[in-house]
Structure 1
Amino acid sequence: MKLLATSLLAALLALPVMSSFAAGEAAPADAAQTHAAPAAAPAMAAKPDLVKGEATFTAVCAACHGADGNSGTPAYPKLSQQHPEYLVKQLQEFKSGKRKNAVMQGFAATLSDDDMKNVAYWATSKKAKPGFAKDKETVTLGERIYRGGIADRQVPACAGCHSPTGAGIPSQYPRLSGQHSEYAAAQLTAFRDGVRANSLQMTQVAAKLNDKEIRAVADYIAGLR
């Protein structure tokens, strides 16, 4: 009898342990983690390399946008002191074709994500040179639209997103102050006409503006500081 009991006990101990949880159901945290390997630390995002950013900017961007991002040509935007998140987004969308521009798509196609980040943060680090409004005839109209919108057409004030001084809101809305009026007007027109389609919000706003209003607000933006 003693030998039989010992054999029975050995057989019972040899049976697999059955969980009290349904198949696929997690065991309690203390049981599941008793022998768990320590969790890996989250990967840290690489910091932008401003030295590489300057080198890439000089080689790829400076001819049109100026050595320090302060473009001297009205057709090309000033990039200095622009929010880096905005610059990276635009470069990515040029590269993907979401924002249409054959010249910029060609340049952006040569840049990796790290290149874009390095260039953007380098441009952000350069101080923007102030601009000025040129048309005294429309400055009042431009100010009224920028600061108060056009209520009867449900055009919101530009200042609501881009701030009263045109400084914008980092990672959300770009800096506008001091931007060339010719470039700003061209972009508003492109949004209105569906040529530039990478911001539904701006397409909806620009669709309600006529040519005179676009020129007026773009000229006012140039003098903001």
Structure 2
Amino acid sequence: MKKLLVGLTVSLSLVSFAHAAGNASAGQAKAAVCAGCHGVEGIAMIPNYPSLAGQHESFLAKQIMEIRDGVRKVPEMTGMVASFSDQDAQDVAAYFAAKPKNLGQADPALVARGQELYRAGDMAKGIPACTACHSPNGMGNAQAKYPVLSGQNPAYTEAALKKFRSGERANDPNNMMRAIAAKMSDKDIQAVSNYVFGLN
């Protein structure tokens, strides 16, 4: 009986996982509404917008659904995703996740402080190392829905961290990013945002 229950649980888990997976081919047409800001290939030409190429499907789908549902406030996107079903969000996320990510060039003047914060944090300020969640190479953690930071537009990352710091953005699990960003100065935010842009 115990084996049957374990087998059933595993089977149901696989079914729900398969149902939640996106279809990149279906996502291509649905992603047309995203191209104006995020680029056809998911690489934003406007620095204040995030590049989506190579981002984790799980993270992108979460963001799309939270913007659609009003959990994350992004007025310029709300109308774009208002009619998206959960499956649409998964499909668009799968489409962009399959694209090669942007590779940036960090500003040498900011690299040392950015690398220090990213790799070791700043214990005097109570800032943990970014690598703990976003990995040493900036590839994040798909299962935990922690985003890829490597190659992300620095202006976007900087704005996101400042929104976490002010509390304007509050869709982080357990207040984690808000608590960390609250301890970061503008220079810290600029340095780490620049560093991850060139991280690969």
Query: What TM-score, normalized by structure 2, do the two folds share?
Result: 0.87
Asked if residue 215 in structure 1 is aligned to residue 187 in structure 2, the reply is: no
Q: Structure 1 residue 162 and structure 2 residue 134: aligned?
A: yes
Contact 2:138-2:148 at 8 Å conserved across structures: yes
- Structure number with the higher helix fraction is 2
Which residue of 1 is the match for residue 122 of structure 2?
Answer: 150
Instruction: Say which structure, 1 or 2, has more relative contact order (CA 8 Å, 6+ apart).
Output: 2
Report if aligned partners of 2:140, 2:147 keep a CA contact under 8 Å in 1: yes
Q: Deviations over 1:79-126 (max 9, x none)?
A: 011111101111111011111111112212121111001000111111
Alignment of 1:177-216 (within 5 A): 177-199=150-172, 200-216=175-191
Match of 1:61 among 34, 40, 45: 34
Q: Structure 1 stretches (4+) deviating beyond 4 angstroms? A: none
Contact 1:84 1:171 in 2 (8 A): no
Measure the CA separation in 2 of the matches of 1:73 and 1:53: 22
Q: How does 1:74-113 map to 2 (within 5 A)?
A: 74-113=47-86
Partners of 1:167 and 1:92 lie apart in 2 by 22
What is the number of residues matched between the two proteins? 184
* Correspondence for 2:5: none
1:57: Cα distance to partner?
0.5
TM-score using structure 1 length: 0.78
Gaps of at least 5 residues in structure 1 are 1-28, 30-40
Conserved 8 A contact 1:65-1:71: yes
- Of 93, 108, 111 in structure 2, the residue corresponding to residue 120 of structure 1 is 93
1:175-223 deviations in whole A, cap 9, x for unaligned?
0000010000000000001110111100000000010110011001110
**Distance in 2 between residues matched to 1:150 and 1:180, nearest whole Å:** 23
Gapped regions of structure 2 (runs ≥ 5): 2-10
> What is the rounded CA distance, in whole Å, between the counterparts of 1:96 and 1:178 in structure 2?
28
For residue 141 of structure 1, what is the aligned residue in structure 2? 113
Instruction: State the partner residue of 1:10.
Output: none
1:50-76 per-position Cα deviation (integer Å, ceiling 9, x unaligned): 222000112x10111111111121111
Residue type at the aligned position of 1:203 = R
Q: Give the distance between the partners of 1:57 and 1:164, measured in 2 at CA.
A: 30
